[in-house]
Structures are given as C-alpha cells and as structure tokens.
C-alpha cells in the first residue's frame, strides 16, 4: 500500500544511528531509498553513480568482490541484476544499524555468495588475507569520506588484497572544491594502481577507477 500511495506523497521513517546520525527511509514514487541528513546512501542517486562506475570496469560473472561500505545494499542489487554477477561478495560495514536496515528494509540476505562483516573497513583490510578481482570503496559518514581512507596506511594494506590486474572503484568524495587529497592519493599509489579520475558524476561526485599494475617477473 505504501508503494502505491508514495506516488501521491512520500512516506518517511527516521532511524537513529550513533555512527551516522539520523537516517531516513523514504517511499517515493514507488521506490524506497535510504538517506542521511545530507546525502543519499542507497537506491537513489548513489545507485546511479555506482552503476556508472561499474560500467567502466570489467566484471566477470564469478569475480570475487570486496565491498567496503554496504549502505542499504543497492550496489549488490546493481551487480546482480544489471551486471549479471553471481560470484562471492564480501561486504564490510561499520554501522550495525545500517546492516539491519539493509536486511530488513531492502531484503539483503547473507548466503554462500554474500558475507557481511560489521566492522571498520580500515581495521578489516589490516588483517584480511583474501584477494579479490574487484574492490569497491563507498565509505561515507553523512556526506564525507573519513580522512583515514585517503591515507597511506589504508592503501598499503588494501593493495595486496587486489589480485594481479584487479580493479578498484573508489567513490572519493562529494563537491570536492580542490583536488589536493585526490592528487596526493593518486601519486602515493601510482606504482601499484593506475587511476582514471571521473569528476562531477551525477553532478557532484568524484570517482577514481583503477587497475592494479602487472609486475614483470624477475
């Protein structure tokens, strides 16, 4: 009923999170979206943004994917339905409230091809020993990427998790007025990752799309 009535007027439910503040679940025009106070978290403009980013990389049906930042799980829906991906996805999300929203409101169900960790992504990459064909980084607190995800320590731990010729999609920020952080990051990892930069995607986002450089054998 809410889905039908939402074509006439939106229905919004607020959910409180210690990490992300007030979250809003809204039925609008027959679709449910998840928003923070200042940004879309899932199933709105963010889904279109990441869908564009995914269209710029090669996704095989069975590739193993690491997703840092689950949100409501819209990127999983996009991978499965738009890109015909049926391989294993490992999702890491620091906010238990958001994980519950993904499960209860958007039917994101753990199974043999989806494993969800409630954990800080910075800590997770520090001990993870698995490798992945694709790593997607979509980590925001409201409309900001936490500073630690631009820093050397995070990328030093992350790069070994990427298989040879593996690919990275990094949602690097919103309304970036200067590129100091982005240019510093690209310079820092240039011996390992070749990044292309996509500005003003969906009008406001910066995406970095990269591929791990192959190493010549000694």
User: Which pLDDT tens digits describe the chain residue by residue (218 residues)?
Assistant: 555 444 444 568 889 999 998 998 887 766 888 888 877 766 777 788 899 999 999 999 999 999 999 999 999 999 999 999 999 999 999 999 999 999 999 999 999 999 999 999 999 999 999 999 999 999 998 888 999 999 999 999 999 999 999 999 999 988 776 678 899 999 999 999 999 999 888 778 899 999 998 765 43
Per the domain annotation, does 76 fall within a domain? yes
Q: Could you tell me the CATH number of the domain that includes residue 152?
A: 3.40.50.150
What torsion, rounded to 10 degrees, do the Cα atoms 171, 172, 177, 182 define?
Answer: -140
Residues 75/49, Cβ–Cβ less than 8 Å = no
Per the domain annotation, does 31 fall within a domain? no
> What pLDDT score was predicted for residue 41?
66
| Pairwise CA distance, residues 82 & 146, whole Å | 29
Per the domain annotation, does 38 fall within a domain? no
Q: How many domains does one find in the chain?
A: 1
Per the domain annotation, does 17 fall within a domain? no
| Pairwise CA distance, residues 6 & 181, whole Å | 40
| 94-124 residues labelled b (16+ CB within 10 A) or e (exposed) | bbebbbebbbebbebeeeebbebbeebbbeb
Rounded to two decimals, what is the model's pTM? 0.90
Can you name the residues that pair with 208 across neighbouring β-strands? 170, 197
- Strand ranges in the chain using DSSP code E only, listed in sequence order: 11-17, 21-28, 31-35, 40-42, 65-68, 89-93, 114-118, 132-137, 162-174, 193-201, 205-212
> What pLDDT score was predicted for residue 10?
57
> What pLDDT score was predicted for residue 194?
93
User: Which residues lie closer than 8 Å to 57 by C-beta, 6 or more apart?
Assistant: 134, 167, 169, 209
Per the domain annotation, does 155 fall within a domain? yes
Tokens 């040879």 locate to 164
Per the domain annotation, does 29 fall within a domain? no
Per the domain annotation, does 20 fall within a domain? no
Per the domain annotation, does 19 fall within a domain? no
Residue 131, domain extent: 44-212
> What pLDDT score was predicted for residue 7?
41
């Amino acid at each position: 009923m809410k889905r039908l009535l939402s074509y006439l007027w939106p229905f919004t439910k607020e959910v409180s999170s210690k990490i992300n503040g007030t979250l809003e679940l809204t039925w609008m025009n027959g679709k449910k979206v998840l928003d923070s106070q200042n940004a879309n978290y899932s199933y709105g403009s963010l889904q279109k943004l990441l869908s564009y980013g995914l269209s710029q990389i090669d996704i095989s049906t069975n590739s193993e994917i690491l997703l840092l930042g689950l949100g409501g799980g819209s990127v999983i829906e996009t991978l499965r339905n738009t890109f015909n991906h049926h391989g294993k996805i490992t999702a890491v999300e620091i906010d238990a409230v958001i994980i519950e929203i993904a499960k209860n409101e958007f039917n994101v169900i753990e199974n043999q091809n989806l494993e969800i960790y409630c954990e800080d992504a910075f800590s997770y990459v520090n001990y993870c020993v698995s490798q992945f064909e694709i790593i997607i980084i979509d980590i925001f607190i409201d409309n900001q990427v936490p500073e630690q995800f631009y820093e050397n320590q995070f990328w030093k731990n992350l790069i070994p998790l990427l298989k040879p010729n593996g690919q990275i999609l990094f949602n690097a920020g919103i309304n970036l007025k200067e590129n100091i952080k982005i240019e510093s990051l690209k310079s820092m990892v240039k011996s390992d990752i070749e990044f292309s930069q996509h500005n003003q995607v969906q009008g406001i986002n910066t995406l970095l799309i990269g591929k791990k450089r192959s190493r010549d054998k000694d």
